[in-house]
Amino acid sequence: MNPPGINGHLNGIICINKPAGFTSFDVIAKMRGILRLKRLGHAGTLDPMATGVLPVFAGRATKACGILPDNDKVYEAGFELGLVSDTYDISGNITASGSYAVIGKQDIITALDKYEGEIMQKPPMYSAVQVNGRRLYDLARQGIEIERESRRVTVYGIELLSYNPELGRGRLEISCSKGTYVRSVIHDMGQDLGCGAVMTDLIRTKACGFSLEDCTSLEKLQELASANIPADRYTYPIEKVFSYLPKLVLNEKQEKMYRNGRRLDMNRIDFNVPDAGKVRVCGADGHFIGTAVIINELAELRADKNFDVK
């Protein structure tokens, strides 16, 4: 049960523009203190050096963390050629260097083409990936490097936003699936160019359907708390992340049966979306209840996740 306070019954999503130097878990810990809430979770871990969109789920919305329909991300990243680091970014130990004097903008664009589409990517040693129950970054800090299995990820698009050939520095925009390491893309690009490359900064501009424009800061949340004002103004309804699903509205009788765990006969429901599969379910008053699955061959509606409790 949540502790008492002005946000004690908060249910929804607060998007934070994560500051540099904070881990995603640091943000959650800070928000627990600000909001006086225990039941918080986040979607899409960000490295400490990264900034940008971090959706934080409060109250019953935490049940959505593991079933988010949109896990795609968009990042803007800075890079510097001529360096290689053990972390693949500028914060790590520089392990090698090379000349980028002959490398031009088109060389970088050509090298990046290789990383668009569905690719196999090996996670860096300095990452939160677990192997045999141990975090890779824990092993890396002990000077241990182990073999990592490559994972299938999708890079929907890479654009070179700018490049300064004199400094060997530039910026990229990368749209990708969950689990993609942008610094690995930059590291691998540097290896292909023969000079090395490190990531210098990372901004997540979009995640789970939210953008930077949807975000607030920890400072603003603290200001509200200090003034004893609830955080509702920065809270998005749980339904927002499922808005892409067809909407199915139940009548009062059906709603009562549904809330009691009954499977409903689709032939008795006013809904005409052929082969809909998954839907978002609303009560007779239009209030979002949760998600459900339509078993077409049985013409049944089965509850998936309920977020509304009456």
Q: Please tell me which residue in 26, 47, 214, 265 is annotated as part of the active site.
A: 47
Burial tier of 139 (Cβ tally within 10 Å: 0-12, 13-18, 19+): middle
Q: Name the amino acid, one letter, at 82.
A: G
Write out the two tokens for 171.
């910026």
State how far the Cα of 185 lies from the Cα of 71, in Å rounded to an integer: 19
User: DSSP states of 45-104 as a string?
Assistant: ---TT-EEEEEEEEGGGGGGGGG-S---EEEEEEEEETEEETTSBTTS-EEEE---TT--
Residue 70: active-site member: no
Write out the two tokens for 210.
């939210």
Contact between 58 and 150 (Cβ < 8 Å): no
State how far the Cα of 207 lies from the Cα of 216, in Å rounded to an integer: 14
Q: So which residues are the catalytic ones?
A: 47
